Copies of this chain bind each other. A is one copy, B any other.
Amino acid sequence: MALIVQKFGGSSVADAVCIRRVAARVLETRRRGHQVVVIVSAMGDTTDDLIALARQITAMPSDREMDMLMATGEQVSVAMLAMALHALGAEAVSLTGPQAGIFTDGMHRKAKIMGIKPQRIWKHVKAGQIVIVAGFQGQTPTNDIATLGRGGSDTTAVALAAALKADRCQIFTDVEGVYSADPRIVRNARKLDEIAYDEMLELASLGAKVLMARSVEFAKKYGVELEVLSSFSKAPGTIVKEEVKSMEDIVVRGVSADKDQAKITLGGVPDRPGVAARLFKDLAGAGLNIDMIVQNISARGMADISFTVSEDDLAKARRVIQSAARGVQARAVNVDTDIAKVSIVGVGMRGHSGVAFLMFKTLAERGINILMISTSEIKISVIVRKRLANKAMIALHKAFCLDKPGSTRTTPPNRLVRRPR
Contacts and interface: CB of A to CB of B under 8 A. Distances in A.
A65 B79 contact: yes
Chain copies in the assembly?
A: 2
A293 interface: no
A213 interface: no
Contacts of A57: 16, 19-20, 80, 83-84, 87
Interface stretch (A66-74, A280-288, A317-325, A342-350): A66-74
Contacts of A68: 75, 78-79, 82, 94, 96
Nearest to A23: B57
Contact of A16 (B53, B64, B71, B75): B53
B75 A71 contact: yes
Contact of A65 (B58, B69, B94): B94
Contacts of A144: 99
A56 interface: yes
A55 to B, nearest CB: 9
A58 B15 CA distance: 13
A411 interface: no
A86 interface: yes
Q: Is the interface of A mostly helix, strand, loop or mixed?
A: helix
Contact of A56 (B16, B53, B72, B145): B16
Interface in A71-104: 71-72, 75-76, 78-80, 82-84, 86-87, 93-94, 96, 99
Contact of A69 (B56, B69, B80): B80
A120 B142 CA distance: 10
A222 B71 CA distance: 35
Nearest to A15: B56
Given A57-B80, A68-B79, A94-B68, A143 B99 contact: yes
A146 to B, nearest CB: 13
Given A57-B83, A64-B93, 9 more contacts: A50-B76, A54-B80, A60-B87, A62-B86, A68-B94, A68-B96, A69-B76, A69-B83, A72-B72
